[in-house]
């Protein structure tokens, strides 16, 4: 089935807006669990909010920035995978899916591409899809309704250049090879803020990632 949704901040009439516009999912960047403070009140708020969305047939995603972009541990540490799985299961127990972003910050040496990962000799094109697949499958085994969205660092193309020290085609092909097909992958068009999305560019991206992308319009 076609998916229509938006990414942003919640407001008082979010549900009414979503239903009126025939959306079936909403992704919230600020959320009750994004600080990693799993207090009883935050868990209650998340469960209550998810139930309101799910009761109306909408899927609710929370942004996982606190684990992927704001502060990131080395992917080469097994403890980091275990830590993410534990947190993701907490979110899944509340009835929410996860929006897993690596977009612009993935190759920042000060935060997300750590010294340990760089010293391993592996680049994100070697590691990311495999890592996220392990995370997803571990949570899915316990919570069958769990869903994920993924924004890779290469979320545009093919004509726009990029500053990253990695191979774009290799990275996108690793998604097709390793990432479960049911995980949505974000694409914004030829550029980050494309006003027009050409079919030829979409086919190029879809052919590399092995699925239809989720179109993201982040400028009007």
Residues 148-159 have pLDDT tens digits of 999 999 999 888
Distance CA 16, CA 152 (A): 30
Token digits of residue 101: 């972003």
Task: Supply the pLDDT for residue 1.
Answer: 67
Question: What pLDDT is stored for residue 24 in this prediction?
Answer: 92
Contact yes or no for 173/122 (Cβ under 8 A): no
How far the first Cα of the chain sits from its last, in Å, is 25
- The CA distance from 146 to 209, in Å, is 21
Q: What's residue 50's pLDDT?
A: 96
Handedness of CA 132, 211, 195, 17 (dihedral sign): negative
Report the distance separating Cα 214 and Cα 80, nearest Å.
Answer: 28
pLDDT at res. 220: 65
> How much is the CA Rg of the chain, to the nearest whole Å?
17
Distance CA 186, CA 148 (A): 11
pLDDT of residue 39: 95
What's the rounded Cα separation, in Å, for the pair 154 and 172? 7
DSSP-derived secondary structure letter, 198? -
Collect the ranges in the chain with pLDDT lower than 50.
none
pLDDT at 195: 86
């Amino acid at each position: 089935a076609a998916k229509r949704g938006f990414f942003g901040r919640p407001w008082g009439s979010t549900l009414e807006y979503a239903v009126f516009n025939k959306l079936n999912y909403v992704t919230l960047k600020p959320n009750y669990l994004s600080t990693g403070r799993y207090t009883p009140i935050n868990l209650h708020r998340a469960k209550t909010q998810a139930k309101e969305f799910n009761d109306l047939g909408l899927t609710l995603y929370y942004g996982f920035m606190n684990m992927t972009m704001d502060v990131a541990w080395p992917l080469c540490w097994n403890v980091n995978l275990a830590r993410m799985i534990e947190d993701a299961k907490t979110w899944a127990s509340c009835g929410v899916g996860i929006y897993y972003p690596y977009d612009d910050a993935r190759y920042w040496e000060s935060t997300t591409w750590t010294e340990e990962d760089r010293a391993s000799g592996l680049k994100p094109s070697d590691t990311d899809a495999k890592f996220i697949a392990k995370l997803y499958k571990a949570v899915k085994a316990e919570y069958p309704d769990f869903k994920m969205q993924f924004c890779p660092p290469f979320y545009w193309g093919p004509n726009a250049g990029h500053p990253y020290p990695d191979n774009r085609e290799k990275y996108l092909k690793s998604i097709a090879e390793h990432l479960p097909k049911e995980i949505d992958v974000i694409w914004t068009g030829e550029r980050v803020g494309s006003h027009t999305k050409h079919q030829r560019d979409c086919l190029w991206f879809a052919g590399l990632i092995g699925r239809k992308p989720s179109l993201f319009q982040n400028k009007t």
